[in-house]
Amino acid sequence: MSYSEAVTSSWTRIVRWLENHAAASAQALNPPATDADIQQLNDALGFRIPQALETWLRMNNGSTAKDRRTPIPGGFQLLPDPASKLFPGGEVFLDCQSIIDRHRQFLRIADEIDDEDWWMPSWVPVLAEADSHHGLLLDTDQAARVLAYRESDYAKVYAASLEEVLEAVADALEHRRGGGVLTRGRHADVQDGRLVWG
């Protein structure tokens, strides 16, 4: 199975689960990214995004449909609706514009603090907690492995691939089990029609 097929399979399972069990979270999913969205993202980053991420964005352009954006110096801050937080760490699946905004903001901060290891140009944020420097990114210099980043530490290896992360989440949803390292030991539940991780 190719990377794109693995992403398609796992994300289809996740969306089906949301539609059947957590309608409010399913409604937080945006329509697919367009060719223009993907081109704008590639142009802003200065390189082509990994095929696995492009496949995912072409299925749903993030889980930000109910969110608001507020201007901040150097870009925008995403203010997520609780239903947008689809992932076990409370992260939102970023849309193309949010990826651009965060990538630009994080590179600016790395330059301001004169620490190129804090955020590298080849890093693409894909999942993020809105009110802190916390989430998951793809390291495009290292076969698109997944790194976890947070304010208190440098980014560290989290998973071998995006496919591995999505498969772990799909399994946790369908089998109602937690405890796996990629689901941060949490299990899925539903409150007010939205997915929550306990």
Task: Give the number of C-alpha atoms closer than 13 A to the C-alpha of residue 24, restricted to the C-beta side.
Answer: 14
Secondary structure of the chain in the HEC alphabet?
CCHHHHHHHHHHHHHHHHHHHCHHHHCCCCCCCCHHHHHHHHHHHCCCCCHHHHHHHHHCCCCCCCCEEEEECCEEEEECCHHHECCCCCCEECCHHHHHHHHHHHHHHHHHCCCCCCCCCCEEEEEECCCCCEEEEEECCCCCEEEEEECCEEEEEEECCHHHHHHHHHHHHHHCCCCCHHHCCCCEEEECCEEEEC
* Angle (nearest 5°) at CA 89 between 137 and 114: 40
Orientation angle between helical segments 3-21 and 162-175, nearest 10 degrees:
30
Give 161's pLDDT tier (boundaries 50, 70, 90).
Answer: very high
CATH topology of domain 3-178: SMI1/KNR4-like (3.40.1580)
Mean pLDDT estimate for the chain:
91
pLDDT of residue 112: 93
Q: What is the pLDDT of residues 42-60, one digit of tens each?
A: 999 999 999 999 999 999 9
Rounded Cα distance, 165 and 167, in Å: 5
pTM of the predicted model, to two decimals?
0.92
Q: What is the pLDDT of residues 102-151, one digit of tens each?
A: 999 899 999 999 998 999 999 999 999 877 789 999 999 888 899 999 98
pLDDT of residue 80: 79
Mean pLDDT across the stretch 160-167? 94
Cβ neighbourhood burial of 71 (10 Å; 0-12, 13-18, 19+)? exposed
Alpha-carbon distances of 142 from 4, 29, 136, 138, 165, rounded to whole Å: 18, 29, 14, 9, 16
Domain boundaries, the chain: 3-178
Q: What is the pLDDT of residues 59-113, one digit of tens each?
A: 999 999 998 878 877 666 767 799 999 999 999 999 999 999 999 989 999 999 9
Distance, first Cα to last Cα, the chain: 32
